[in-house]
Structure 1
Amino acid sequence: MFRLERYDDSGKRVMLVPVEMRGIGFEGSIHDGDWARVSGRIRAGTLHAKRLHNVTTGADVRATRTPKWQWILAGVFICIVVAIIVSAWIGIFVGEPGGPPDDWPPEDFP
């Protein structure tokens, strides 16, 4: 989270705007004193942005997210674990009761 100073056409500072960018990392850079253009939605007085353009350096800064293939892999793993748990539960609580066979112990057992 950082704040941007907003200026009017005459160069007078109008207000400070809190900006929030969420992600697992960031590509690009911005430093104190850099000029930037930011777009996004304002919620609860904070500008939520996914990217910004650093006018001073010409760099685009964006928040990186978890790739879709990792979400899919995690979903498949969770489904497999749930299937194993459900099949074990069915085997324990719904299956035939275990125990020794009917002819146990054998007649010639010492």
Structure 2
Amino acid sequence: MAHPQRVREQRVNIPDAIRVAFAEGEERHALTLLLRERDQYPAGSRAWAELERLSGLVMIHLLREVEGTFALERADTLLDALPDGTPPVRREDRPTLAWLDLSDEREGD
């Protein structure tokens, strides 16, 4: 089931199942869920890029540095110049592992 279109310039919503898996130390499961969630969005979209970047960070966390670095490069390239004309995403607004924190209150923003 495809996700409904989200408003441009909004941060992607991270499903609770991904956050819980990561918090419980199930990083591989969290990565699988992140990649599945990423694939629900069109390649080249901001949501896809944010989830790709987050996946890369989880890969690096799992000591899969090469794969993770490539994912970060793909994501950051898109976030620097989104094809839909959305302004570049500032570095400080890009995904970090803190986005997987269960207490992250910014999710509704």
State the TM-score bracket (shorter-chain normalisation): under 0.3
Q: Kindly indicate which of the two structures has a greater share of residues assigned to strand.
A: 1
Ranked by relative contact order (alpha carbons within 8 Å, sequence separation 6 or more), the top structure is 2
Larger Rg: 1
Larger helix fraction of residues: 2
TM-score (norm 1): 0.21
TM-score, L = length of structure 2: 0.21
